[in-house]
């Protein structure tokens, strides 16, 4: 006897979206969450995530387009503003690899964008203290995603469609048998036709050894600063940004609370043994580099860190996710390993996972994300 067509294990960033999408296809889907959806110690924590249409890797373009459409659908279905459409700025050294790769990617994909010379940038966005050779690319469709709103909206929409949600139910084990996949939590067990593993930094224990060897939870931290003139850093005036200027780099988002600006050193993941035990305190080196970078980049921010935190994400050795069945005919589907970059496309990953786990086709070429690249 089956307990349902599909189980989704983990209702965080991607699992919540997979549950929502699966609930559009079947009323026989159950979501398991160790704590509660959008809890603050998961990769949902920290208020916002950057959304962009212009990606360094053009292979992500179809996924970004799908995700953009689905973010709008989630907003419509929930009646909530989830994506703050403030635009995106990518700043870097003129003729350096960052800006030239972005422009090449834009040419390959046709993503609408605007090149800004140093002078245009200084005039339009005086918040950024530019170096002599800095220029920028503007992505008008970029923005900031409200993470906790997004996840709770997706779970609520799934429940409205008939999905079952089991909170405070950590899954200890999944086992494939001739009848389906047996899911165990404590002394309870269920059997499902298919299972999606979407347990983020905690996924490793549910993955086969071959994939465990290619994955590692990492700690990613965030820092916030108070704006001297909050209007200048409001979403209307201050797009999300990623800046790689010489030896310094930073990314961030406007003051969504009206005062505090997210500005964080770009991509500093640190391997950690357990997703549950991510050190939340910043090291003296992290504080020093962050403070120096903000002092140089943003004269309009007080350079003291007023808030900081750190969260887990599962990284793969090639920093691309694991999206697909464990093997041909397997009933276990992985949607994990988003390696510090999965939120912007959470809706797209969720839809692909739900469709494929329920035996339906998707049209994007996501072969480069298949787990078989590590197990074949
Ligand atoms: C600080 C930080 C900044 C980032 N910035 C960006 C950004 O700007 N743009 C971007 O696109 N991406 C960004 N990312 C990446 C993105 O946030 C993650 O890739 C994505 O959120 C990962 O989602 P997930 O569903 O895999 O994990 P999570 O969102 O952590 O969800 C996993 C869920 O599974 C549950 N769970 C775990 N184990 C079990 C179990 N055994 N049984 C039941 N439930 C379980 C957990 O409680 C949790 O709720 C950032 C990540 C971090 C950490």
> Does residue 240 sit in the same domain as residue 208?
no
Question: What's the CA gap between 34 and 163, in Å, rounded?
Answer: 17
How far is Cα 111 from Cα 58, in angstroms, rounded to an integer?
10
Indicate whether 293 and 181 sit together in one domain. no
> Of 313, 331, 360, which residue sits at a domain end?
313
Do 160 and 180 share a domain, yes or no? Answer: yes
- Strands 188-197 and 307-316 turn out to be unpaired
Residue 55 in any domain: the answer is no
44 CA: nearest ligand 1 atom: 29
Kindly give the pairing relationship between strand 332-336 and strand 114-116: unpaired
Dist CA 307 CA 321 (whole Å) = 29
Give me the CATH number covering residue 166.
3.50.50.60
- pLDDT tens-place string over residues 169-198: 999 999 999 999 999 999 999 999 999 999
Residue pLDDT, tens place only, 272-295 = 999 999 999 999 999 999 999 999
| pLDDT, mean of residues 56-63 | 95
Same domain membership, residue 227 and residue 362: no
Angle subtended by helix axes 61-78 and 346-357, to nearest 10: 90
Same domain? For 174 and 108 the reply is no
Query: What is the CA(100)–ligand 1 centre distance, in A?
Result: 30
Strand partners, 134: 93
CA of 184 to the centre of ligand 1 (A): 22
Residues 225 and 365 both lie in one domain: no
Within a domain: 34: yes
- Residue finishing a domain among 265, 289, 313: 313
Place of tokens 């990284």: 315
pLDDT at residue number 305: 98
Atom of ligand 1 nearest to the CA of 338: 19
Q: List all residues 6 or more positions away from 104 whose beta carbon is below 8 Å from its beta carbon.
A: none
Query: Do 237 and 130 have their domain in common?
Result: yes
The per-residue pLDDT for range 336-362, each reduced to its tens digit, is 999 999 999 999 999 999 999 999 988
In a domain, 194, yes or no: yes
Q: How far is the CA of 210 from the centre of ligand 1 (A)?
A: 22
Q: Is the predicted pLDDT of residue 365 greater than 90, yes or no?
A: no
CA nearest ligand 1 atom 19, residue: 342
230 and 202 both lie in a single domain: no
> According to the model, what pLDDT value does residue 355 have?
98
Domain boundary among 293, 313, 333: 313
265 with 189, same domain: the answer is no
The answer, yes or no, to whether residue 364 has pLDDT greater than 80, is no
Q: What is the CATH number of the domain that holds 104?
A: 3.30.9.10
Instruction: Note the helical H segments in the chain.
Output: 13-23, 61-78, 97-109, 118-124, 147-160, 209-212, 284-297, 346-357, 372-375
CA of 309 to the centre of ligand 1 (A): 14
Top mutation candidate among 338, 339, 344 for ligand 1, by most atoms within 8 Å of CB = 338
Alpha carbon of 216 to ligand 1 centroid (Å): 13
Q: What is the pLDDT of residues 90-140, one digit of tens each?
A: 999 998 999 999 999 999 999 999 999 999 999 999 999 999 999 999 999
199 and 226 belong to one structural domain = no
Around ligand 1, the residues with Cβ closer than 6 Å are 9-15, 32-35, 39, 42-44, 46, 49-50, 170-171, 198-202, 220, 222, 311, 313, 336, 338, 340-344
Residue 236 lies inside a defined structural domain of this protein: yes
Q: For residue 345, give the ligand 1 atom closest to its CA.
A: 11
Q: Is residue 42 part of a domain?
A: yes
* Counted domains in the chain: 2
The answer for residues whose C-beta is within 8 angstroms of residue 311's C-beta and 6 or more apart is 41, 42, 43, 45, 46, 219, 220, 221, 222, 278
- Same-domain check for residues 209 and 235: no
Which residues form the domain of 250? 90-141+218-313
The model's pLDDT over 29-42, given as tens digits with 9 standing for 90+, comes to 999 999 999 999 99
Count helices and strands in the chain by DSSP H and E runs? 9, 20
Domain shared by 134 and 180, yes or no: no
In a domain, 300, yes or no: yes
């Amino acid at each position: 006897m089956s307990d349902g067509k599909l189980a989704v294990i983990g209702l965080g960033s991607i699992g919540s979206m997979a549950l929502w999408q699966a609930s559009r296809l079947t009323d026989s889907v159950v979501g398991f969450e160790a704590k509660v959806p959008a809890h603050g110690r998961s990769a949902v924590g920290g208020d916002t995530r950057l959304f962009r249409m212009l990606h360094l890797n053009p292979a992500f373009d179809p996924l970004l387009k799908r995700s953009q459409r689905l973010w709008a659908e989630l907003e419509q279905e929930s009646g909530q503003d989830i994506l703050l459409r403030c635009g995106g700025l990518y700043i870097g050294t003129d003729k350096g690899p960052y800006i030239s790769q972005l422009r090449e990617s834009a040419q390959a994909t046709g993503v609408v964008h605007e090149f800004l010379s140093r002078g245009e940038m200084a005039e339009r966005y005086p918040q950024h203290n530019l170096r002599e050779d800095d220029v920028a690319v503007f992505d008008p469709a970029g923005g900031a995603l409200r993470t906790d709103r997004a996840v709770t909206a997706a779970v609520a929409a799934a429940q409205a469609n008939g999905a079952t949600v089991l909170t405070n139910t950590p899954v200890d084990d999944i086992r494939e048998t001739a009848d389906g996949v047996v899911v165990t939590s404590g002394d309870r067990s269920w059997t499902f036709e298919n299972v999606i593993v979407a347990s983020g930094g905690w996924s490793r224990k549910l993955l086969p050894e071959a994939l465990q060897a290619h994955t590692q939870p990492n700690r990613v931290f965030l820092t916030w600063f108070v704006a001297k003139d909050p209007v200048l850093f409001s979403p209307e005036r201050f797009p999300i940004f990623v800046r790689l200027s010489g030896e310094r780099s930073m990314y961030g988002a406007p003051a969504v609370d009206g005062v505090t600006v997210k500005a964080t050193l770009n991509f500093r993941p640190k391997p950690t043994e357990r997703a549950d035990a991510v050190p939340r305190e910043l090291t003296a080196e992290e504080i020093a580099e962050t403070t120096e970078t903000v002092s140089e980049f943003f004269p309009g921010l007080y350079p003291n860190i007023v808030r900081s935190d750190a969260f887990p994400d599962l990284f793969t050795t090639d920093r691309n996710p694991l999206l697909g069945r464990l093997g041909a005919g397997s009933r276990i589907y992985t949607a994990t390993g988003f390696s510090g970059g999965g939120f912007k496309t959470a809706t797209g990953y969720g839809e692909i996972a739900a469709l494929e786990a329920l035996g339906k086709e998707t049209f994007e070429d996501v072969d480069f994300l298949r787990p078989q690249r590590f197990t074949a």
